Structures are given as structure tokens and as C-alpha cells.
Structure 1
């Protein structure tokens, strides 16, 4: 089985936090800088993971404020 790309592993991790209730609707995700440091990944990896989660409806970005867990 092929290894998942880093962005996919990060997206899975955040999705898991949302599914478990660790992150609730309306909660703000850590910043890109914080996610980079916590997971040892690049800005590109963080942005790709967030983009995928936005596309899937798990999170929503608010310009100038950050990324928040979406109501499901």
C-alpha cells in the first residue's frame, strides 16, 4: 500500500480531531505557522490540507481571521 502524502496525513489528522469532538464547529484551527511546527511540514503541505478540508466542507476560511471548523 503506498504511503499517503504529507498533506493527506495532515488533513486526516485534522478531520479526526473534528470527528472526535476535539475541534467543535466554530473552533479556530491553529495557524499555518503553528501547524507547520506541530507536524514538521511545509507551508505548501498545510495549505493543501486546508484546501482539501474546505472543499470537503469540514472547515471554512474567513479572510483575515483564520480557518474555522464548519457546521456539519
Structure 2
């Protein structure tokens, strides 16, 4: 089985931090540059990972401000 693409690995990592509460609703994610440096990936990889999380409704972007963990809907 082929290895997961780097963007999927990064998305899994961030998803895990959100699920564990390490990144709580309303928290700002590290910048693209910080994520690139921390994980040794390119800007495109970070953008794809954030796009996947945004599609899942886990994060939301605010133009010119950053990407934040989405508020969880009440169960």
C-alpha cells in the first residue's frame, strides 16, 4: 500500500490535535510558514491540508487574519 501523501499526513496530524483538544475551538492554527518549517513540507502541502480540514468543517479561514479551529456544533 503506498504511503499517504504529505498533505494527508499533515491533515491527520492537525485533525488529531483538534480531536484531542490540543487545538480548541477558536484557536488559531500556526501560520503556513510555521507549519512548513515544523513539518518540513512546502506551502502547497500546507494549503492542501488546510483545504481538506476546511472541507470537513474543522477549520475556517478569516481573510488576512488566519485559520481557526471551527466551533463544534452542539450534539
Q: Shorter-chain TM-score: which interval? A: over 0.9
Partner of 2:47: 47
Deviation at 1:33, TM superposition (A): 0.2
Rounded Cα–Cα distance in structure 2 between residues aligned with 1:7 and 1:64: 22
Unaligned runs of at least 5 residues, structure 2? none
Partner of 1:22: 22
Count how many residue pairs are aligned between Structure 1 and Structure 2: 72
Rounded Cα–Cα distance in structure 1 between residues aligned with 2:36 and 2:27: 19
Report the TM-score, using the length of structure 2 for normalisation. Answer: 0.94
Partner of 1:12: 12
Query: Would you identify which runs of 4 or more consecutive aligned residues in structure 1 move more than 2 Å?
Result: none
The answer to whether residue 38 in structure 2 is matched with residue 38 in structure 1 is yes
Rounded Cα–Cα distance in structure 2 between residues aligned with 1:19 and 1:27: 13
Unaligned runs of at least 5 residues, structure 1? none
- After superposition, the C-alpha distances for 1:7-60 in whole angstroms (9 at most, x for unaligned) are 000000000000000000000000000000000000000000000000000000
Q: Max radius of gyration: which structure?
A: 2
